[in-house]
Amino acid sequence: MEFNNCSPIYLQIIDSIKQDVVVGKLKTGQKMLSVRELAGKIKVNPNTIQRVYQELEREKITFTKRGMGTYLTDEEKIIKLLEEEISDKIIQEFINGMNKLGFSNDKIIGILQEYL
Amino acid sequence: MITLLKYEIYRRWKWLVIRYAALIGLGIVFYNRATFSPMQYNIAAASMGKFFLVSLIVFAIIIVEGINMLKEDLFESSGYLTFTLPKSGRSILFAKNFLLFVQFFLWALVSIQFGTMFLKLLPLEEVSRYMAEIDLPVYPAILFVLTAFFNFVLMVQFSLTLTRTLLYRNKYSGIISVGIFFLLTYLIEKFYYGPFLYQVQRVYSEIGSGLEVNMLSAGYTSVFMNIVLSIIFFTATAYLLENKINV
Amino acid sequence: MEYILTTKQLSKYFYQKKALEKVDINIEKGKIYGILGPNGGGKSTLLKLAAGLLKPSGGEITIDNKNPGVYTKSIVSYLPETNYFYKWMRIKDALNFFNDLYVDFDMENAGKSIEFMKLEEKEKITSLSKGMLGRLKLSLALSRNAKLYLLDEPLNGIDPVSREKIITSILDVFNKKSTIIICSHLIYYIEKLLDYIFFLSEGQVILEGETENLRNERGISIDKLYQEVFQ
């Protein structure tokens, strides 16, 4: 994981984890690395990781089993939501980028049909 | 306190061994040379003179080492280590000076022992005539000299510490500490020993030289005064080290 | 809110120079702080005051609610910029020295740290390079279980490989019961470690805040922010 220092790191890490979930790098129900482990792995302040895990738990993407650690959810519904969230984000970014270059939405649809 | 002392000894134990081995060793060598030709007093005197020189050198080394023990922590970066240790100023100063104290004692023991041995080689009449002329109580005199030199080191340490307290990283620190030292010497002469010696003179002249015990008690009293002075300087330096210096 | 270090109107003057001018700082337990700023701005002075090496000219500084003294020195682990080792020591002596004088020193950990930093116990201090001395200082400072770590330019003169090792070591020692304050110019490498930063210049705090908030508000890295603030 590479992160830049220009925007809050905890948000970048959350996004990265969400992507890993959608892509399948992290399997449903899988045990997450502990706060210390992850902090050491990506060389980031453990308090930041703590914040990441708190946020993930708040969004119900992870849950904590007392005394055993943090686990990725195995609820299909949540994973589905994540997929949508991420793809929406990418699509929105794409559209914004294209709009900035001067492409109207109709043109975008045309180009996409050709491309795909 | 003891831990610090342990390291003060550990860091220079080889030098300490060499120092005293040389003192004792050379003492034996010179003594043997003197006894080899028993009636030739000039050889005995020469040997004694040589030993005296060696003894003086060792003494100077002890004093310089004693001063440097504190000086290096006050003026060099090792001070960052010493003064962040969880030890009081008293502990730090005590560890440094205890070794000094023990060395003075050791040196005095060895030197006096050899000194008396050498003296016995010389013609007795001359020696006792010499001693009678001086009329000096020996033990208080020796103690006075030792405590005076111990004081000397403590005063230098105090001067250095005071300089460090008043000035922070100044080029003139060296000169100023010397200045403070001489100022202290002057003040002590004028206000501490001065009145004391005056009293002694008065008592001596009033009661008359018939009382021999006067010189003896005067001798021990001046030793006592030195000890008090040592305590004052030690305490003052420790206080500055703990509460006032900026490293 | 538990503070491990607080300063109230803390000032330090050297002759005419104002190293610190009425500074108010509160350091919470369990966080990593960065004190950033140009040379001569007061960072080292602040750390030395906390370490008990300097005495305040005005105001006060307390560590664990106590004035700097023998107790605070026992719970503070200070890493100075300079080489502070006694010249007569070998690395092994330095380890033993720390072990004897600090109750919270972890000898086993120190031994491992020395190995990790590719140092050998029998080496003389006087034969170590600047980089090696930096790594040794850090190994010793971080092998203590202190409540407050004060690291003054821990990455100066350190090669990239050692730098990563040092960052790893800092993360390893950090826990909820300890607090770390780092002063460094090399902001780029340490920003990810910092919870909260102070920008100190000419003896005063000119900017402070939570690192992530500052990133969010300004949209730039702390490194860039530093460059902007100090031109």
* pLDDT tens track for B169-207: 777 777 888 888 888 888 887 777 777 777 767 766 666
Q: Last residue of a domain, which of B76, B110, B134?
A: B134
Asked if A12 is an interface residue toward chain C (Cβ–Cβ < 8 A), one would say: no
The CA distance from C70 to the nearest CA of chain B, in Å, is: 5
Whether residues C51 and B84 touch (CB distance < 8 A) is answered with: yes
Same domain? For B89 and B177 the reply is no
Amino acid sitting at position C150: L
* Domain residue limits at B220: 136-247
Contact B115, B34 (CB under 8 A): no
Same domain? For B28 and B114 the reply is yes
Give the ipTM of the model, two decimals please: 0.93
Asked if C181 is an interface residue toward chain A (Cβ–Cβ < 8 A), one would say: no
Among B112-116, B173-177, B220-224, B232-236, top mean pLDDT goes to: B232-236
Among A25-34, B14-23, B45-54, B140-149, top mean pLDDT goes to: B14-23
Domain count, chain A: 1
Contact C120, C128 (CB under 8 A): no
pLDDT number for residue B208 = 58
Binning pLDDT at 50, 70 and 90, where does residue A22 land?
confident
From C165, which residue of chain A is nearest by alpha-carbon distance?
Answer: A43
Report chain C residues whose CB lies below 8 A from the CB of A10. 212
pLDDT tens per residue across span C42-58:
999 999 999 999 999 99
Same domain? For B113 and B51 the reply is yes
Whether residues C88 and B80 touch (CB distance < 8 A) is answered with: no
Report chain C residues whose CB lies below 8 A from the CB of B11. 86, 88-89
The CA distance from C120 to the nearest CA of chain B, in Å, is: 20
Same domain? For B127 and B9 the reply is yes
Whether residues A48 and C212 touch (CB distance < 8 A) is answered with: yes
Helix (H) or strand (E) holding C37: none
Report chain C residues whose CB lies below 8 A from the CB of B239. none
Residue spans per domain, chain C: 3-230
Binning pLDDT at 50, 70 and 90, where does residue B141 land?
confident
Q: Is the pLDDT of residue A48 over 70?
A: yes
Same domain? For B6 and B46 the reply is yes
Please indicate whether chains C and B are in contact, defined as at least 3 beta carbon pairs under 8 Å.
yes
Same domain? For B122 and B148 the reply is no
* Domain residue limits at A95: 9-115
pLDDT number for residue C99 = 97
Of C194, C213, C219, Cβ closest to residue A45: C194
Query: If you classify domain C3-230 with CATH, what class do you get?
Result: alpha beta
Q: Which residues contact A52 (CB under 8 A, 6 or more apart)?
A: A10, A13, A14, A17
Same domain? For B56 and B114 the reply is yes
Same domain? For B9 and B100 the reply is yes
pLDDT tens per residue across span C97-121:
999 999 999 999 999 999 999 999 9
Mean pLDDT estimate for chain C = 94
Binning pLDDT at 50, 70 and 90, where does residue C7 land?
very high
> pTM value?
0.89
In this prediction, residues A29-50 reach a mean pLDDT of 92
Asked if C192 is an interface residue toward chain A (Cβ–Cβ < 8 A), one would say: yes
With helix as H, strand as E and coil as C, how does C127-187 read? Answer: HCCHHHHHHHHHHHHHCECCCEEEEECCCCCCCHHHHHHHHHHHHHHCCCCCEEEEECCCH
Size of interface A-C (CB pairs under 8 A): 54
